[in-house]
Structure 1
Amino acid sequence: MKLYTSIIIIIITFFGCKKDNQDQGKPYAYIGGEIINPNTNFVVLSKDEVVLDTVKLDGRNRFIYKINDLDEGIYTFRHGGEYQMVLLESRDSILFRLNTLDFDESLVYTGVGDRKNNYLINDFLENEKEEKHVIKFCQLNPVSYEKHIDSIRNKKVEIFNEFKKKYSTSPLFEKIAKANIDYTYYSSKEVYPFIHFGKDKAAILKSVPDGFYDYRKDINYNDTFFSQFYNYNTFLRHNLSNISLKIHDDHSDNNDFNRGSICYNLDRLYLIDSLVTNTSIKDDLLHYFTMMYLSKNENIESNEAILKSYLGKSKNEKNKQMVSRFTKSLNSLKDGATLPQVFVVNYEGKEFDINALIKRPTVISFWSHKYYGHFKDSHNKLIELKEKYPETNFIAVNINDYDLDKSKKILETHGFDFKNEYLFKNPIEATEMLAIYPMTKTIIIDKNKKIVKSNSNIFSLNFEEQLLGAINR
């Protein structure tokens, strides 16, 4: 990799200097890299959700691409369903190396502009680790909790300031790095009432000290610059959920908060519609919360109420059609119904109607190359469940639109056998018919081929209770 990087940097420098003489300093940047265990033979580059180009990998799974007339800022590269962001400023020549089996953790940048991007990816990974600590801290009283998260924030500010002293940094980088620190901190405050173990969330909300949410007065809910940033979007989701909690409590008689309450979820959609004016940001938030509600709810009347509210507020016609179809599929998968006719293929290439595989209590789970962690964890969990419930049939279905060899290779690599492993014959159609969202979705069927639970999760605390209900029918 070092030799490859050196060669590319020399090439970039040579052509960059030559072009400089012709273009009189026009902004440009190079981005390239090497992908280990690629899922496809291309990388998609985009900015602000606008695709710039689809770049093919060469015979060594590498690519190099020049962006002319560069619009400085955050760019996105996607591969096989995974994506990550990179900050590109004029004259940057960024190379990255990653392994799709450990996408974010394996990502390393080299070249001109590497330090700022390695800083940002390391900050992203640290945030993921810190989330686990924040969850534990949420059980503390609000004053103690605030001290802990203040300490985390102060440490990150210290690292940021040391980085600025050590290296030359641009105002654009500093703006992004500071926002990442701030929005992560704000999110930690917004989730406190929800993660705290107490059931009376309104009382917990009232217990926070004065000034706990003072930063809210400066929040821009329509910030187009940060609209594609993970930390900004995460903050908006937590913040709007928290404010909706207060609104909901003002007209609710129930002290025990239910996140799945139709009233609370309608309040949240109403708040988004009234507070967010940017169409793109608003549509993304409406879509996210609507899908989250629908994927966990089984009441047809409530589903229709949420759908009606969503359709009346969203301007995204494509998403509206998709959510309408998703709701229709969900409603057809109610308790006591049978699965629609969906065809799967085993690793010998034989085709089956999925209903023909159900001859006893059955659990159907799903996996994708895009969610590598879930793939490993779910298959290990299935091994455990198979030993505990031998009277149950456990089926795992890969939902990707890839050939048999791709899925077969990843199963073989991890020592998982092919028994009761399948792929969809028509992945897009089947995924929609079975309303597979999120990826943790699990369907429980009884011995009579009747649905017991269409939105279960093998990792949930009550999964085994649901399974025993199916076994004992």
Structure 2
Amino acid sequence: MKHLYLIILLSVCFTACKKDAKHGNESCAFLGGEIINPSNRFVVITQDNNVIDTVNLDQENRFLFKINPVNSGLYTFSHGGEIQMIFLEPNDSIIFRLNNLDFDESLVFTGRGAKENNYLMKMFLQNEEINPVILRYSQASPKVFKHKVDSIKAVFQEDLDDFTAKYKTSERFNHIAQANIDYNFYAQKELYPFTYYGNNELKNLQSLPKDFYNYRANIDYNDEDLKDYFPYFTFLKYHFNNIALQKHFSHSNDSIFNNKSLDYNLDKIQLIDSLVSNDSIKNSLLNFAALRYINSSNRIEDYTPYLESYLEKSTSVKYNNQIESLIKSIKKLSPGNKLPNTLVLNNKNEELYLSDFIKRPTAIYFWSFSFKKHFLDSHQKAHELMKKYPEVDFIAMNIDKGENEWINYLNQYQYPLKNEYHFKNPELSRQMLALNSINRVMLLNKDLTIVNSNTNMFSKDFEEQLLGMINQ
């Protein structure tokens, strides 16, 4: 019966789009599906970081949405913190079925346009499988590493060439699929020096083979079609980390690489500004670089010169306001100050202030639907630390919008709800607490006095910080 439903649905969608085209209307596309074990009652469809619509699930956990007109390219659908990109072209009628508990691995497309999306999904999963293998190769010499990576890339390339020849795919799809291969493997080479040399030896960059970065001649820093594509943007982040390091060592006397240093981070945003002209791509890269620097550095005195340089380069009012607001909030969260007494909800939907339940040395960590791995890892780590440090309360704080979904999400993984809370006003609380990194952990005394507002439970010295707080 389910298969019959999908066949009928696809036929209706395809006929509707053909009628639109026949009557001279702009071409449309349909996107629909069924979600098993949904975590909420809607999906969100976006393009170019703009929300097209929020579509409700019916009683059978299905939805159908008409995109009219459809711009050929990449779209995003998200549900319960999970995100996946879809390639759509005019007259496509794509239906998918997925299990929310196994989001990526269970996702299968049917209908017109399905073969392209199933192929991109296959590439995504293959990249996830091959990345740990390439990481192991990163311990090999530059020459051996380059040979291994180029050999794997050639296999991916042959597979894509066979697919595009068999199905006569569009130029837009070919461009995106090719970028997936190129930028994923380029990114591995950008990361290589950091894993092979280590921070103490990064000055040995000049010992890399002369042809190691030959692919850089093919980089398009301003590819409009790829501006929101994860492999492309990820590559650019790694790339600017790398070339900023090379520039930094060219004029610095530093013998050890410090990615938190002001000079290195100023070099990075200067390079972004000089090489990227597309405002959307440039502003996104600048914003990411600024957030990473500000959230990792505890040298508040360096924020002012960094902000001045950033504002000279960024043209996004939204991002500029975000960075300025973040710096103002962080300055208020210095050790010795009191943490803002934020209003939260407990698992019974009761409103409480932090001071109502923080009565001992406390570590507050944060989680979101959008970062499933961090959600699982942080809860596991907190569980381990609770046993080692019973003098400390470990409080988990959900930062997402919506008052009930967070409890449903915890119940899906059968986590105990004790010491789990949710911001009453997530947007305001995130701003007040400068929460622009999900990895942030805050250490507090029993009276909400800040011990450290910007630490990480996975850092090497985190347990030393806990002991220091306990012994105060």
Counterpart position of 1:465:
464
Q: Does 1:90 align with 2:90?
A: yes
* Structure 2 residue 10 is the aligned partner of structure 1 residue 9: yes
- What does residue 65 of structure 1 align with? 65
Structure 2 partner of 1:383? 383
Can you list the C-alpha shifts for 1:358-403, whole angstroms capped at 9, x where unaligned? 3222111111222222222222222211111111111111122222
Normalising by structure 2, we get a TM-score of 0.93
> SS in structure 2 opposite 1:148?
helix
1:210 aligned residue? 210
Report the Cα offset of residue 437 of structure 1: 2.4
The SS at the match of 1:238 is helix
Q: What is residue 234 of structure 1 aligned with on the other side? A: 234
| 1:97 Cα offset (Å) | 2.1
1:51 Cα offset (Å)? 3.7
Give the Å deviation of 1:91: 2.4
CA-to-aligned-CA distance 1:105-152 (integer Å, 9 cap, x gap): 332211111111011012122223332233322222211111121122
Counterpart secondary structure, 1:443? strand
How far the C-alpha of 1:83 sits from its partner, in A, is 2.8
Which structure 2 segments of 5+ residues have no match? none
Q: Which residue of 1 aligns with 2:417?
A: 418
Contact 1:360 1:391 in 2 (8 A): yes
Normalising by the residue count of structure 1, what TM-score does the alignment of the two structures yield? Answer: 0.93
Q: Shift of residue 49 of structure 1?
A: 3.2
What does residue range 47-196 of structure 1 map to in structure 2 within 5 Å?
47-196=47-196
Q: CA deviation at 1:466?
A: 1.8
User: Which sits farther off after the overlay, 283-292 or 15-24?
Assistant: 15-24
Which moves more between the two structures, 379-388 or 97-106? Answer: 97-106
- CA shift, 1:218, in A, is 2.4
CA pair 73-58 structure 1, distance change in 2 beyond 3 A: same
Q: In structure 2, what is the Cα distance between the partners aligned to 1:8 and 1:78?
A: 21
Deviation at 1:429, TM superposition (A): 1.0
Paired residues of 1:335 and 1:454 also in contact (CA < 8 A): yes
Q: Secondary structure at the match of 2:84?
A: strand
Q: Deviations over 1:33-71 (max 9, x none)?
A: 123344443333333334433333323232222333432
Structure 1 range deviating more: 273-282 or 155-164: 155-164
**Cα offsets for 1:192-248 (capped at 9, x unmatched):** 112224334543311110111112122221111211111111111111111111110
Offset at residue 166 of structure 1 (A): 4.2
Give the C-alpha shift of residue 84 in structure 1: 1.9
Q: Deviations along 1:340-367, whole A, 9 cap, x unmatched?
A: 1212222233333213433222111111
- Structure 1 match to 2:405: 406
Partner Cα separation in structure 1 for residue 208 and residue 86 of structure 2:
37
Q: CA RMSD in A?
A: 2.1
Q: Is 90-99 or 209-218 further displaced after alignment? A: 90-99
Given that residues 193 and 201 in structure 1 are in contact (C-alpha distance below 8 angstroms), is that contact kept between their aligned partners in structure 2? no
Q: CA 1:325–1:37 in 2, change beyond 3 Å: closer, same or farther?
A: farther
Opposite residue 326 of structure 2, the aligned amino acid is: F
Q: What SS is found at the alignment partner of 2:320?
A: helix
2:224 is paired with a residue whose SS is coil
Shift of 1:290: 0.2
Contact 1:339 1:355 in 2 (8 A): no
CA contact (8 A) 1:35 1:97 kept: yes
Task: Give the Cα separation in 2 of the matches to 1:260 and 1:128.
Answer: 29
Give the counterpart letter for 1:287 in structure 2. N
Report the more deviating stretch, 284-293 or 129-138: 129-138
Distance 1:406 1:354 in 2: 21
Cα distance, 1:65–1:425 mapped onto 2, change above 3 Å: closer
CA contact (8 A) 1:344 1:422 kept: yes
SS of the equivalent of 1:225 reads helix
Structure 1 unpaired stretches of 5+: none
Q: Is the 8 A contact 1:202 1:249 kept in 2?
A: no
Identity of aligned residues (%): 44
Hey, what's the Cα distance between the residues in 1 that align with 2:267 and 2:22?
Answer: 59
Residue 381 and residue 94 in structure 1: after superposition, are their counterparts in 2 closer, same or farther (change >3 A)? same
Q: Is the 8 A contact 2:20 2:27 kept in 1?
A: no
SS in structure 2 opposite 1:232?
helix
- Per-residue CA deviation, residues 380-438 of structure 1 (Å, 9 max, x unaligned), is 222211111111111111122222x4322322332222221111122111111111221
Aligned equivalents of 1:171, 1:182: Cα separation in 2? 16
SS at 2:352 equivalent: strand
Partner Cα separation in structure 2 for residue 69 and residue 328 of structure 1: 42
Whether the aligned pair in 2 keeps the contact of 1:202 and 1:246 (CA below 8 Å) is no
- Cα distance between partner residues in 2 of 1:276 and 1:39: 39
3-state SS, counterpart of residue 121 of structure 2: helix
